[in-house]
Amino acid sequence: MEVLENYDVKDISLAEQGKRNIEWALRDMPVIRKIRERFSVERPFENLRIASRVHVTKETANLMITLKMGGAKIALAASNPLSTQDDVAAALVKYWDIPVFGFTGEDGEVYARHVQAVLDTKPQFIIDDGGDLVVAVHTERRDLLPNIIGSCEETTTGIIRLNAMEADGTLAFPAVGVNESMTKYMFDNRYGTGQSVMDGIFRAANILLAGKTFVMCGYGWCGRGVAMRARGLGANVIVTEVDPLKALEAAMEGYRVMPMEEAAKLGDIFISVTGDMNVIDVHHILEMKDGAIIGNAGHFDIEINMKDLQRHVNSVVPVRENFDRYELDNGKSVHIIAQGRLVNLVAAEGHPGSVMDMSFANQALGAEFIIKNRENLTNKVYTLPREIDEKIASLKLDAMGIKYDKLTDEQYRYLHSWASAE
């Protein structure tokens, strides 16, 4: 097979291993397989140019291949400088003729160039993770806006940005917030993040969690999942929150809830997953125990204030891969995983295929939803209709061999009637 010339990956010779990893992930992605079968026949994206900026993993690869089998012309850029699986990137280029722009360890200049590279394909649709492509076309590449039909967004962070754009009237096309689908946030965010964050911590630090005090910054769906897994492994979990409803929920679930100012002095391990900046700030870090471990599971590397921390750092000592000791000017030290970037994608491999199966099913069907309904959509952020959410759930249950009850006609009529039951 002829290898594409227009790409930027680390090493094309890694392609064979990447192909094996992509195929291995697909075995655990039955919903995507079903969607792929239908797309290959119906071709809903025939000749549609799609620009994607997503973590380049074996699971992502299967989404890209699925969209291509639906007729799309794909260009893929990495959404994080350290999360790209280089063998997967090479395989997409060599075996599926999908141009990929991304490799592990790319610097900021290259990272920005890769964004422009996928936009240079003049996309008609965007698959985004964090909102950077959408923001780029609204600020740097407005010439592309007239041809863009819509976008799909994977993350809470990206949806926050889209909602802000909608609120101030700048969003120029309809967008589907995939993270608002129950088959995404209840599973990917909770079970996927819960497991993959633990995986990242263990690979980086190789520590025993039992008996440790674990501080969970944020109690959204991702925070719930991480806290649940930490407690299941024997940690004493503290939750910090700014939302009184989520703080109350955490308390009712049996976690200790307190301000970060207090938790900083007690924790052995700190994980932040809020979507906000400076959640673990410098003054918190200076109050931590000597040897505390800190990691970020939010999309952008802003949750730990790494920039201002540098003023208090005497030296940085690499201890293990993706695990550095920061010697502070107060005589203490802290350990930071993955330089403050995504602990589960930099220090580990991200979510398992069985979880991303549903997340990427939402991406694929979200794109189809916009393409099919574009004449009736306005420039706002949409949630996928419930029937699509339920279809994804039913396909997953079928693949798991799980049967569930169905309403009888009598039950359906009762639930949809305002009259008294006879």
pLDDT value at residue 421: 59
Q: 119 and 159 in one domain?
A: yes
Which amino acid is located at 79 in the chain? S
172 phi/psi in degrees, rounded to 5: -100, 0
Q: 369 and 319 in one domain?
A: no
Give kind and range of the element (H or E) at residue 150: strand 150-153
Q: How confident is the model at residue 116 (pLDDT cuts 50, 70, 90)?
A: very high
Q: 322 and 213 in one domain?
A: yes
pLDDT digits (tens, 9 = 90+) for 144-191: 999 999 999 998 889 999 999 999 999 999 999 998 999 998 889 999
> How many other β-carbons are positioned within 10 Å of the β-carbon of residue 348?
23
- List C-alpha distances in Å: 257 to 89, 144, 227, 234, 335: 42, 47, 12, 18, 24
Is 417 a domain residue?
Answer: no
Read off the DSSP letter of residue 323. E
> How many other β-carbons are positioned within 10 Å of the β-carbon of residue 17?
15
Is 6 a domain residue?
Answer: no
Higher pLDDT, 421 or 233: 233
Q: 263 and 161 in one domain?
A: no
Structure-token pair, residue 58: 């074996």
In 178-262, the DSSP E strands lie at 213-217, 236-240, 256-257
pLDDT value at residue 1: 35
Residue listed under structure tokens 């920061």: 326
User: How would you class 378 by CB atoms within 10 Å of its CB: exposed for 0-12, middle for 13-18, buried for 19 or more?
Assistant: exposed
Here the CATH number for the domain that contains residue 158 is: 3.40.50.1480
Number of domains in the chain: 2
Residue 411: CA count within 13 A, CB half-sphere: 4
Q: 306 and 240 in one domain?
A: yes
First to last CA, the chain: 69
Is 41 a domain residue?
Answer: yes
Q: What residues does 317 pair with on adjacent strands? A: 325
Is 5 a domain residue?
Answer: no
Q: 299 and 166 in one domain?
A: no
The string of DSSP letters for 21-55 reads HHHHHHHT-HHHHHHHHHHHHH-TTTT-EEEEE--
Q: 130 and 158 in one domain?
A: yes
pLDDT > 60? residue 289: yes
Q: How confident is the model at residue 203 (pLDDT cuts 50, 70, 90)?
A: very high
Q: 228 and 103 in one domain?
A: no
pLDDT value at residue 185: 87
Is 421 a domain residue?
Answer: no
pLDDT digits (tens, 9 = 90+) for 31-69: 999 999 999 999 999 999 999 999 999 999 999 999 999
The DSSP bridge pattern shows strands 323-328 and 313-320 to be: antiparallel
The C-alpha R_g of the chain, in whole angstroms, comes to: 22
Structure-token pair, residue 221: 């769906």
Q: 167 and 120 in one domain?
A: yes
pLDDT > 70? residue 5: no
Q: Decide: 400 and 68 in contact? Cβ < 8 Å.
A: no
Q: 379 and 315 in one domain?
A: no
Q: State which of 302, 327, 346 marks the end of a domain.
A: 346
Is 407 a domain residue?
Answer: no
Percent of the chain, pLDDT > 90? 93
Q: 60 and 148 in one domain?
A: yes
State the average pLDDT over residues 68-78.
Answer: 97
Secondary structure (H, E, C), 89-127: HHHHHHHHCCCEECCCCCCHHHHHHHHHHHHCCCCCEEE
pLDDT value at residue 2: 40
State the average pLDDT over residues 325-340.
Answer: 98
* Domain membership of residue 178 as a residue range: 12-184+352-400
pLDDT digits (tens, 9 = 90+) for 350-400: 999 999 999 999 999 999 999 999 999 999 999 999 999 999 999 999 999
CA–CA gap between residue 118 and residue 7 (Å, rounded): 10
Here the CATH number for the domain that contains residue 320 is: 3.40.50.720
CA–CA gap between residue 106 and residue 336 (Å, rounded): 20
Is 1 a domain residue?
Answer: no
CA–CA gap between residue 78 and residue 84 (Å, rounded): 6
Q: 107 and 231 in one domain?
A: no
Is 146 a domain residue?
Answer: yes
pLDDT value at residue 159: 93
Q: What residues does 75 pair with on adjacent strands? A: 51
